[in-house]
Chain A
Amino acid sequence: MSSSKNKSIAGASGSSRRERTIDIVNRRLAKRYRIEKRFRFYGLCSIIVSMVFLAVLLTSIVSNGYSAFFQTYVRLDITLDSAMLDRENPGKSNFQAIIKQSINKLYPEVEDRKSKRELYALFSSGAAFQLRDLVMRHPDLIGTTVSLWVPADDDVDMLMKGYIKRSVAENERRLSDRQLGWIDRLADQDRIEKRFNVTFFTAGDSREPELAGIWGAVKGSFFTLLVTLVLSFPIGLAAAVYLEEFAPKNLATDFIEVNINNLAAVPSIVFGLLGLAVFLNFFGMPRSTPLVGGLVLMLMTLPTIIIASRAALKAVPPSIREAALGVGSSKMQMVSSHVLPLALPGMLTGTIIGMAQALGETAPLLMIGMVAFIVDIPGGFTDPAAVMPVQIYLWADSPERAFLERTSAAILVLLAFLVLMNAAAVIMRKRFEKRW
C-alpha cells in the first residue's frame, strides 16, 4: 500500500499538472471512509452474533422448559374402605390396591389382566404415596369417599402438553389407541386437568418424571455453597488484605501472587481429581456429600474472591490510610477499622460472583461422587446430596421426553438463582461503590 502511494506521489510531482498533497489525500478519503464503515460493520456483526447465540440458547431452554411448571393431574374418587385400611396402623395398608380399585370403578368394562395393566399405566405410582400421606394425616377419613387429584403418568402428561402426537402411527407412539380413548373419557368427565406442578419444587429426584423434583438438589446446593462461603470468604479476605496491605515486595510475595493466578487457571476437573485423591481417598471423608463438594468448590472460588477483594482494597485511596496512621493508629487498626469497612462492599461483590460460579459448577462434583442417584432430601452437610447442575446433568441423560422439559425447567431455576446473585452483586457495586 505504502509503496503504491509513494509511486503515485512521485508520478504526480513529475507530471506537468502539479498535484497538491491534499488532492491525493482527498482522492483516497472516500475509500478510507468506506473501509471505516466496513470495519464498524464487522465489529457490530460479532457482537450481534454473540447476542443472537445467547438469545437462541435462552429461548430454546425457556420454550422447552416452561411446560414443566405444569403437570397433568387426574381426579379419582377413592373409597377409603375400612376393610382394606387398618385403623390402628394405616401406614401399612396396601394403598396401591385402593387406587387400583378406584380406577377399576371408573372403567368397569376393562377386565383382562393385560388391558388392566395398560390402564394402570396411565396413573402415576406416586398416587399411592399421596393417598398414604393423606390417610396418615387424617385417619378420620377412613370409611369415607374422597375425591383426590393424583398425578397422571408422564406419558399422559406429554400427550396433554402436545409432545406426543395423536397423528403418529400407534406402534410408534408411547400410548396405544385404547389408552387414548380412556384419556379422552377422563377429559369428557372433567377428571383431567393441568395444574401448577408443586411436586417439581418440593420433591427429590425420582425415576418417574412426574414425581421428580429439584428440592433435594436445591438443598444440596445450599449446603454445599454454605460450606464454600464459610471457608472461602475469610480465607480470601485475609489473603487479599495481606497481599495488598502488609506484604513486602519480595520473592515470596511474587510466588504467592503467581500461584493465585495459577489456581485460577487450573481446569475445574482437576479440582475434582484433587478432591477425590485428598478428601475422599486420603482423609476418608464421606462420598457425595455437601461437605466435600464445598471444600472442592472453595479452592475453585478462592482466586475469584482474592482478585476481586484486592481490587476493592486498591480502590481505597491512600489518604484514608495516611489519615489513620497520622492520628496514631497502628497498621492493624488502620486496616480493620478504616480500610476494610470501605472495601467490604467490593469484596462482597466478588464473593457473590464467586459463589455464582460455584453454584454453576458440575465437573469437579462428578469426581467426588455427587453424581449418584439420591432420592432423599439432604438434611445436613454429611448426607449424600445432589446439587442443581449435577441434577440437570443426570436428567439430561434420561431418555424420557418428560425429563427433557424438567431438565430445561431446572436450568431455568438455576439461571434464575444465578441472575439473582449477579444482579445483587451489580446493585451492591452501584450502591456502595465510592468514587474518590
Chain B
Amino acid sequence: MAETTVIDDGKKSEAFVLSPEKLRRQRIAKFIGEGFLLVVASFVAVVVLFIFYFVAVDAIPFFQQRGFAEFFTSTSWYPADEPGEFGALAIIYGSGMVTIGSALIAVPLGISAAICLSDVLPFSVRQYAKPVIEMLAAIPSVAYGFFALVIFAPLLQNYGGPILMWAWWLIAGPFVLLAVIVVGDVLTSGNDDSSKRKTMRAVLTGVLSIIAVVFLYWAGSALNAIQILSGTNALNVSLILSFMALPTIVSVSEDSLQAVGRELREGSYALGATRAETLVKTVLPAASSGILAAVILGIMRAIGETMVVWMASGNSSHIPDPWYNYLDSIRTLTATIAGDMGEADQVTGSARYHVLFAMGLLLLVFSFFSNLISERIVVRQRKILSGE
C-alpha cells in the first residue's frame, strides 16, 4: 500500500510524535498551568481559614478582657456605657427565637411544596410553579425588610388581633378537621359490624367536630382580642424570614426527592399503593436525610439574615416575657453586628468593637458546623441510594 511508504518517511512521522523539545515545553506548560489552577483553587479554600482567623483575632481580645461567663449568661447589653455591659444571652435567645419561628412556618410549607412540585403536580404546572418559588430567593433582602417594616408592621399593629384570628382559622381549621376524621376512624375501627360502625362513626365525628369548632372559636376569639403594641416584633420577622428560607428548603428537598429513583416509586405502585402512600411510606423515608439537610440549610439562611431583622425586629435586647411571646420585639446577633458596628468602629480596639466580632465568630462557628452536618447527611444519602 502507498501509506506504508509515507509512514516510513521520517519527516512525516514527526508530525505525530512530538520532538523532545516540544514535549518538554508542553510538560512545562502543563506544570505551570496546573500549578496556577491549584493556587487559585486553594485560594478559595484559604479564604475560609482567612475569615476564621481574622474574625477570631478580633474576637479573642474580648474574651480575654471579659471572659466567657458574662457574654453567654447575662442579659444586660449596654455596650455604650462606661464601663459597658456585654451580656449577649438575650440577643442569642432572640436569634434562636426567630430561627425557630421561621422554621416552624417554612419547614412544613417548604416540604409539602417540594413534594407537590416533585411528585404531585403535572409537568405543565410545575414548569411555572418552580420559577415563582425560586423568585422568592431572587428578591433582595432589603426589599423584604422594607415590606416587613413599612407594610406588614403597621398592618400587624393596627389589625393584629383579626389577622391572628384569620391565620388561626386558616391554619388550625384544616388540621383540626383532619384530626377529627382520623380520631373518629381510629376509635371506631375496632368494631367489626360495618353498619354499627358507620353510625358510631357518624355520632362520634359529630360530637368531636362540635368540640373542635368550640375550641377553634374560643382560641380564635382569644387571639382576636390581642392587641399588638408594636408591629416590629418576632412574629413579623419570623414570617418574613420563613418566606426567605422557603426557596432553599424547596429546591434542596426537591433535589433529594428527585434523587430517589423511579424504581422505588414504581415498586411501591406495583404493590398497589396509592400515590400518597407511595410518597409517605416509600419516597419520604428514602429522601429524609436530604430533606433534613434542606431544613438545616434553610435554618442557616434564617440565622444569617441581617437586613430583615435589623429593620423589623424592634431591636430591643431582652428576653420576651413570657419566654414564648412572639409579639414582643427582640434583637438578634446579625442585627446587633450591623447596628452597633457603625458606632463601635470609631473606637477600634475597645471591648465594644471586639464583642461584635465575638458574635460574628459565634455565627461563623454555628454555620460551619451546620454546613458540615448537612453535607455529611447528603453524602450519606447519596451512598445509601446508590448502594441499593
Contacts and interface: CB of A to CB of B under 8 A. Distances in A.
Given A4-B189, A11-B192, A261-B375, A42 B112 contact: yes
A61 B348 contact: no
Contact of B304 (A46, A247, A267): A267
Contact of A393 (B37, B145, B274): B145
Contacts of A267: 300, 303-306, 334, 363-364, 367
Nearest to B144: A57
Nearest to A330: B26
B33 to A, nearest CB: 5
A242 B38 contact: yes
A110 to B, nearest CB: 37
Interface residues of B, number: 95
B142 interface: yes
Nearest to A42: B112
Contacts of B151: 60, 64
A43 B138 contact: no
A276 interface: yes
Interface string B196-236: 00000000000000000000000000000000000000000
A243 interface: yes
Most chain A beta-carbon neighbours within 10 Å: one of B37, B112, B334, B370:
B37
Most chain B beta-carbon neighbours within 10 Å: one of A43, A276, A390:
A43
B135 interface: yes
A336 to B, nearest CB: 9
A83 interface: no
A407 B44 contact: no
A50 B249 CA distance: 13
Interface of B, helix, strand, loop or mixed by DSSP = helix
Interface in A232-287: 235, 238-239, 241-243, 246-247, 252, 255-256, 258-274, 276-278, 281-282
Interface stretch (A90-98, A186-194, A414-422): A414-422
Interface in A35-86: 35-36, 38-40, 42-47, 49-51, 53-54, 57, 60-61, 64
Contacts of A53: 136, 243
A45 B132 CA distance: 14
A396 B360 contact: no
Given A242-B41, A256-B45, A362 B50 contact: no
B306 A51 contact: no
B104 interface: no
A238 B243 contact: no
Contact of A238 (B36, B49, B121, B345): B36
A51 B132 contact: yes
Contacts of A238: 36-37, 40-41
B54 A277 contact: yes
A273 B38 contact: no
Contacts of B338: 269, 272, 363, 366-367
Nearest to B334: A269
A54 B141 contact: no
Interface of A, helix, strand, loop or mixed by DSSP = helix
Most chain B beta-carbon neighbours within 10 Å: one of A243, A273, A328:
A273
Nearest to B357: A273
Contacts of B342: 366, 371
A366 B341 contact: yes
Contacts of B34: 242, 246, 332
Contacts of B113: 43, 46-47, 50
A364 B284 CA distance: 38
Nearest to B189: A4
A293 interface: no
Given A247-B38, A278-B50, 13 more contacts: A8-B192, A33-B274, A39-B275, A47-B129, A241-B37, A256-B41, A267-B305, A276-B345, A299-B51, A359-B140, A366-B338, A411-B143, A415-B143
Interface of A: 4, 7-8, 11, 25, 31-33, 35-36, 38-40, 42-47, 49-51, 53-54, 57, 60-61, 64, 235, 238-239, 241-243, 246-247, 252, 255-256, 258-274, 276-278, 281-282, 299, 302-303, 306, 328, 330-332, 356, 359-363, 366-367, 369, 371, 389-390, 392-393, 396, 404, 407-408, 411, 414-415, 418-419, 422
9 closest Cβ pairs, A-B complex: A267-B304, A360-B140, A43-B116, A363-B306, A242-B37, A265-B371, A259-B45, A238-B40, A39-B276
Interface of B: 16, 18, 26, 29-30, 33-34, 36-38, 40-45, 47-51, 54-55, 57-58, 108-110, 112-113, 115-117, 120-121, 129, 132-133, 135-136, 138-147, 149-151, 174, 178, 185, 189-190, 192, 243, 246, 272, 274-277, 279-280, 297, 300, 303-307, 310-311, 334, 337-338, 341-342, 345, 348, 356-357, 360, 363-364, 367-368, 370-372, 375
